[in-house]
Structure 1
Amino acid sequence: MATHTAPAEPLLVVLGSTGTGKSELAVELATRFKGEIINSDAMQLYDGLPIITNKISVEERCGIPHHLLGHIPLDHAPWDVEDYKSEAAKIIREIRSRGNLPILVGGTQYYVDPLLFKDVILDDVEIDPSSSYPILEEPTDVLLEELKKVDPIMAERWHPNDRRKIQRSLEIYLHTGRPASELYAEQEKRKAAAAQEPETNQPWEKLLFWVYSERETLVERLDSRVDKMLDAGLLDEVQELFDMKKKKTAEGQILNMTKGIWQSIGYKQFEPYMSAKEEGKDLADLAKLKSNAMEDMKAATRRYANSQTRWIRLKQIPRLKEQVPKAFESLYLVDSTDVSQFKTKVVEPAAEITAKFLSGEPQPRHTELSELAREVLTRVSEPPPKAIPCKRTCEICQTVCLTEQAWNRHIKSAGHKRVMKKKKRLALVPVDDTLDTPSDAEASSDPDVTSIFAA
């Protein structure tokens, strides 16, 4: 009789974009397999604001312990990756010590990855919280000019409007005295060397579920969710943040609006409405601002969901394929497109696979779970060719492209052709700044192309 070896340190991970049902599946699995849940959503780390951060309610938790949910005050700086990795790893050990199953769930994938993969962040870069560098709060163009002086390689890599990446590269230099480009190059050498080493016998004891909804259905679901959030009291929470900002500003504090709770989808979209309301604008103006904020919030939510899926497809899946054999086969896609069949198509298949995983029994092939699983996993198993870095600026459209592929897409785009046609028609040399630029929809569809006017 064949013997089965149960995993000694099992970890369940529930991935997926917002609105697909990750939390619901995690609770179901925790209920059936003595699980405890660890939140990996950056906004849900903050205490309060359950609507704007989309926290699972106490009732929906069904008595299952949820860790790192509502864990830090609203005015605290966001956790960096190392903070999260350290605390989550400690909690995972504690859960196992109780004989329970740790289940990691949430949408901030760069929090998840360091718990799954080796050397995905600069582990040897320690940020000293006692050190303060005022330059990091300067405008983005100032940060970029400073980065060009100390690390021109990284400065050339980033889009001039990408404040977060520019700031992080400069922060690494300020805290370590070494360019981030050098540290990343060393990291790549370590990964290349590890790939040449003989395979270790360390088992891969992780089971991943990708809760997936087809895009058209998901978009409708997300738009409807924003409407429900408004009815549930979203504006009360936006007002709370608005008042907190006013209070801290009055006290002389300089707030970094590009980090922390201020990046929650909903606040920045409704802030102009709150300001106008405080100024006593007429009802017609307020109604228009509120309507625009709703549409902006829906668009931002859709973009966020798309970026989460892209991360899984372009970062996590390639990393799974680089790990020990069979790691990619441990990723199961469950289809949550039809909410009425959530139990049949999501919960039951996931529970059956989890039972086999925990007992050490052979699991089904991940491409055989459903037709959608076969289609999506087959498609994403072969990632697109790696983009060739090549920063170019289209002076006509005032658009920056970061890769050769993005440049080729841009010059063939309808927006670029429209501008060229207008230029030719008006015979303007040079083109004046009244020319049309590619639409927001065209720009946002390509992550390597961003209009300078969108800053």
Structure 2
Amino acid sequence: MRIAMSTACKQAHSLLNFPGSGISMESFNVRRPKNTVVFVMGATGTGKSKLSIDLATHFRAEIINSDKMQVYEGLDIATNKVTEEEMCGIPHHLLGVVHPDADFTAEDFRRAASLAVESIVSRDKLPIIVGGSNSYIEALVEGGGREFGSKYDCLFLWVNVSLPVLDKFVSDRVDGMVEAGLVDEIRKVFKPEADYSRGIRKAIGVPEFDGFLRAEAAATADEETMAGLLGAATDDVKVNTCKLVRCQLEKILRLRDVRKWNLHYLDATQVFERQGKEAGEAWEKLITGPAKEYVRKFRYRGIEDRAVATAAAPTIKTPVMSSAVAAATR
């Protein structure tokens, strides 16, 4: 099950209002001491991209990719890039922009993402950084003498799904990727002398099909053997994706427990256990709704309290003094 993103496209960019107060943020010329940057974190397959787009269609926002494989050009199926339709018109940065053979490091990401954030903030929009490469996120927040944290307030949202449910989902997703043309996509970048430790060829799905594609190129194996090699490669992709999920979770827990990052937890397990309309309703109730509230409260903390207090304050009329009293008090 891939959580549908079409509903997000139907939402208008909304002005954040204070419920029941009749007061909008535009009523206050109060500048925050720092600009807010939202990070959407989680293991692969948990719905991070959908949540980032949900938030971006609600707030005036742009999205920065922090997935170390999606930053490269090509292999859109293998790296599970969001489609243009799913983007809902939201600008995406650092998505499919690096040459496939380049070695794009965490430090490269830190510099590029910092520039992207600065550009988005200069247009008075909210930067949302989303992706499963936690080493990239850590390099941005903790690297460079922690300069990033001195300039921006960081809100971390962690979308999670229980491992048994997520394992089944990513396994089914791999089957769907094969049906969608994964093998043909990998065949286009296959080279017998390829270095699987550099560039986009590090992506899960590329090394696993090496044996199958070599046998195909040699044209010496019979149909049954080729079918076996294809099945084994597909199974390897599933196993390695599940391993990646656990590695990503370990890094997230380290950021929480060792780095002491304040991660706002969002459990999407019930969403993945449901289908159709029920899944969409659960997503809105358990993930999108709470995430919007986290962003709203974090971004406008302090300002909202003053706004509500102003709206609730009674009107006090200044007493009119007689001319005699006024003269006596001069």
Which among 167, 179, 187 is matched to residue 219 of structure 1? 167
For the 8 Å contact 2:34–2:152, the answer to whether it is kept is no
Shift of 1:9: 1.4
Match status 1:302 vs 2:242: yes
For the 8 Å contact 1:42–1:78, the answer to whether it is kept is no
Equivalent residue of 1:45, what SS? coil
State the TM-score, normalizing by the size of structure 2: 0.75
Q: How many Å separate the matches in 2 of 1:222 and 1:358?
A: 33
State the TM-score, normalizing by the size of structure 1: 0.55
Q: How many Å separate the matches in 2 of 1:118 and 1:299?
A: 32
For the 8 Å contact 1:238–1:271, the answer to whether it is kept is no
For the 8 Å contact 2:39–2:157, the answer to whether it is kept is yes
For the 8 Å contact 2:35–2:151, the answer to whether it is kept is no
Shift of 1:319: 4.8
Match status 1:21 vs 2:54: no
The structure that has the greater radius of gyration is 2
Residues 24-63 of structure 1 mapped to structure 2, 5 A cutoff? 24-63=50-89
Q: Say what the alpha-carbon RMSD is for the aligned residues.
A: 2.4
Match status 1:268 vs 2:268: no
Q: Taking structure 1 as reference, are residues 12 and 82 closer, same or farther at Cα in structure 2, changes over 3 Å only?
A: same
Match status 1:338 vs 2:278: no
Residues 133-152 of structure 1 mapped to structure 2, 5 A cutoff? none
Structure 1 unaligned residues grouped into runs of 5+:
124-200, 250-254, 322-327, 364-455
For the 8 Å contact 2:37–2:152, the answer to whether it is kept is no
Q: How many Å separate the matches in 2 of 1:356 and 1:51?
A: 36
Q: Taking structure 1 as reference, are residues 310 and 362 closer, same or farther at Cα in structure 2, changes over 3 Å only?
A: farther
Q: How many Å separate the matches in 2 of 1:7 and 1:30?
A: 22
Q: How many Å separate the matches in 2 of 1:92 and 1:36?
A: 9
Query: 1:96 maps to which residue?
Result: 121
Equivalent residue of 1:86, what SS? helix
Query: 1:387 maps to which residue?
Result: none
1:156-183 deviation per Cα after TM superposition (whole angstroms, max 9, x unaligned) = xxxxxxxxxxxxxxxxxxxxxxxxxxxx
Shift of 1:224: 0.5
Equivalent residue of 2:35, what SS? coil
Letter in 2 for 1:298: K
Moved over 4 A (4+): 118-121, 201-204
Shift of 1:5: 7.4
Q: How many Å separate the matches in 2 of 1:9 and 1:63?
A: 23
Residues 97-246 of structure 1 mapped to structure 2, 5 A cutoff? 97-118=122-143, 205-242=153-190, 245-246=191-192
For the 8 Å contact 1:356–1:362, the answer to whether it is kept is no
For the 8 Å contact 1:6–1:357, the answer to whether it is kept is no
Letter in 2 for 1:233: G
For the 8 Å contact 2:109–2:140, the answer to whether it is kept is no
Q: Taking structure 1 as reference, are residues 203 and 276 closer, same or farther at Cα in structure 2, changes over 3 Å only?
A: closer
Query: 1:429 maps to which residue?
Result: none
For the 8 Å contact 1:226–1:298, the answer to whether it is kept is yes
Aligned residue-pair number? 265
Q: How many Å separate the matches in 1 of 2:177 and 2:97?
A: 22
Shift of 1:203: 8.2
Q: How many Å separate the matches in 2 of 1:202 and 1:234?
A: 43
Query: 1:80 maps to which residue?
Result: 105
Query: 1:282 maps to which residue?
Result: 222
Shift of 1:318: 3.5
Which among 271, 275, 298 is matched to residue 357 of structure 1? 298
Q: Taking structure 1 as reference, are residues 203 and 282 closer, same or farther at Cα in structure 2, changes over 3 Å only?
A: closer
Equivalent residue of 2:124, what SS? coil
Higher RCO (CA-CA < 8 Å; seq separation 6+): 2
Shift of 1:8: 2.4
Q: Taking structure 1 as reference, are residues 204 and 71 closer, same or farther at Cα in structure 2, changes over 3 Å only?
A: closer
Q: How many Å separate the matches in 2 of 1:112 and 1:203?
A: 16
Q: How many Å separate the matches in 2 of 1:104 and 1:92?
A: 9
Shift of 1:262: 1.4
Q: Taking structure 1 as reference, are residues 257 and 351 closer, same or farther at Cα in structure 2, changes over 3 Å only?
A: same
Shift of 1:260: 1.6
Q: How many Å separate the matches in 2 of 1:261 and 1:85?
A: 19
Q: How many Å separate the matches in 1 of 2:204 and 2:214?
A: 17
Query: 1:427 maps to which residue?
Result: none
Q: Taking structure 1 as reference, are residues 73 and 203 closer, same or farther at Cα in structure 2, changes over 3 Å only?
A: closer
User: Identical aligned pairs, as a percentage?
Assistant: 36
Match status 1:317 vs 2:256: yes
1:318-367 deviation per Cα after TM superposition (whole angstroms, max 9, x unaligned) = 4542xxxxxx44x201011122111110000000111111111499xxxx
Q: Taking structure 1 as reference, are residues 319 and 361 closer, same or farther at Cα in structure 2, changes over 3 Å only?
A: farther
Q: How many Å separate the matches in 1 of 2:150 and 2:232?
A: 53
Shift of 1:261: 1.2
For the 8 Å contact 1:257–1:263, the answer to whether it is kept is yes
